[in-house]
Amino acid sequence: WGTDEARVSAQADCRFNQDFICYLVDLRDNPDGFL
Of 2-6, 18-22, 26-30, where does mean pLDDT reach its minimum?
18-22
Asked whether 22 and 14 are in contact (CB, 8 A), the reply is: yes
Mean pLDDT over all residues of the chain? 62
Average pLDDT over residues 13-28: 62
- The DSSP symbol for 10 reads H
- Position 4 scores a pLDDT of 73
Long-range contacts of 15-19 (CB under 8 A, 24+ apart): none
Return the number of other C-beta atoms located less than 10 Å from residue 32's C-beta: 6
Sign of CA dihedral 5, 10, 13, 14: negative
Instruction: Say what percent of the chain tops pLDDT 90.
Output: 0
- Position 5 scores a pLDDT of 74
Instruction: Say what percent of the chain tops pLDDT 70.
Output: 6
